[in-house]
Amino acid sequence: MTKLYQKSEITFAILWIVAYVVLSSYADQLSLSIGIVKSVTAVLQIAMSLVLFFWIRNNNLSEKHGFCRPIVPARQFLYYLPLVIIASTAVWGGIGLQYGFPDALMYAISMCCVGFLEEVIFRGFLFRAMEKDNLETAIIVSSLTFGIGHIVNLFNGSGRDTASSVIQIVFAVLVGFVLVLIFYYGKSLVPCIIFHSANNALKVFEVNGSFSPQAEMVMNLVVIFVVLGGYVFYLIKVFPGKSE
């Protein structure tokens, strides 16, 4: 593992991405066959998270891959309040449980691990590997990877209309853009991991159908253009051309 990393960080990142996607997908199927949502997936992702955490620490790569305190004071990131607002949207329509206790617990654990794994793999590994050659490309790729998974909703009959799917894709890409900027400027993945994990895990408490389709679309547009758009503008304005 270490030799592959030293030989090619990009290849290392891509292999971890493939392993994460394929194994998680297979584990999801096994979980459904057992009858407890995310049961196998949670165990797998806990194992993967521990492997990555200890490998990074044992190879003295914690600072490089963001396992450290941000070098920028929280107030300069507006105390991450835009991220808190985004994560809280899951409970704007009320609080409930989508699953029974075992399923909800496994789902929440899995979603926390997803936040950790995706930030480490896509931001910590892939972005860092590409950043050395071309910063702009690294930012774009890291942002797009956050939204690519949602593109399939346009074609897979997920029940979402085209407008809702497009909004979801734009939202995910912008969130990815915000997270990579926070990592690039602050040099820490910790805020990104906390937000990503909380944003995912809170979905287990989301009450579906609380808003009409029209109200939900307006809410999504406000979050995208006011909260996310404003935060992106702020970050670029406050940290222009900032580098290591």
* CB distance 199 to 115 below 8 Å: yes
Q: By C-alpha distance, which of 164, 172, 179 is closest to 232?
A: 179
Q: How many CB atoms lie within 10 A of CB 170?
A: 17
Q: What percent of the chain shows pLDDT beyond 90?
A: 64
For 79-126, write each residue's pLDDT tens digit: 999 999 999 998 888 888 878 889 999 999 999 999 999 999 999 999
Separation between Cα atoms, residue 130 and residue 103, nearest integer Å: 38
pLDDT at 161: 58
The model carries a pTM of 0.91
For the chain, give every domain's residue range: 2-238
Residues of the chain with confidence (pLDDT) below 70 = 149-165, 241-244
pLDDT at 45: 97
Q: How far is CA 220 from the centre of its chain?
A: 18
Beta strands in 154-197 (DSSP E): none
Q: How many CB atoms lie within 10 A of CB 196?
A: 27
Handedness of CA 9, 43, 201, 147 (dihedral sign): positive
Residue 240's identity, in one-letter code, is P
